[in-house]
Amino acid sequence: MDDHAKRVCVPLVRGWAEFENDAADLLDLARLAEHASDALDNASAPLPQLLRAAASDLEYAYYTNDREDHQQVGRQILRPVMLAMDN
């Protein structure tokens, strides 16, 4: 990831930490992932596409899963994206 992509993804990384501490929910993560995706171009491929798909999946999961399942579902959806951002 280049410096621009790292800066763009800082809010999502912070949101992920808040989510892990029960201070953010799936909709917060969806919004942050969508914002990051919108701010990145194809030079950061495939990250924008991964973020866009994760945003959609997170929003869908918020409405289709019980609250007590949100942590597990959120991790399943966003962990691969977070790992891709580390590379």
CA pseudo-torsion sign 25, 53, 76, 68? positive
Query: Each residue of 39-79: pLDDT tens digit?
Result: 999 888 899 999 999 999 999 999 999 999 999 999 999 99
Query: Each residue of 15-45: pLDDT tens digit?
Result: 999 999 999 999 999 999 999 999 999 888 8
Question: Residue ranges of the domains in the chain?
Answer: 3-86
Radius of gyration of the chain (CA): 12
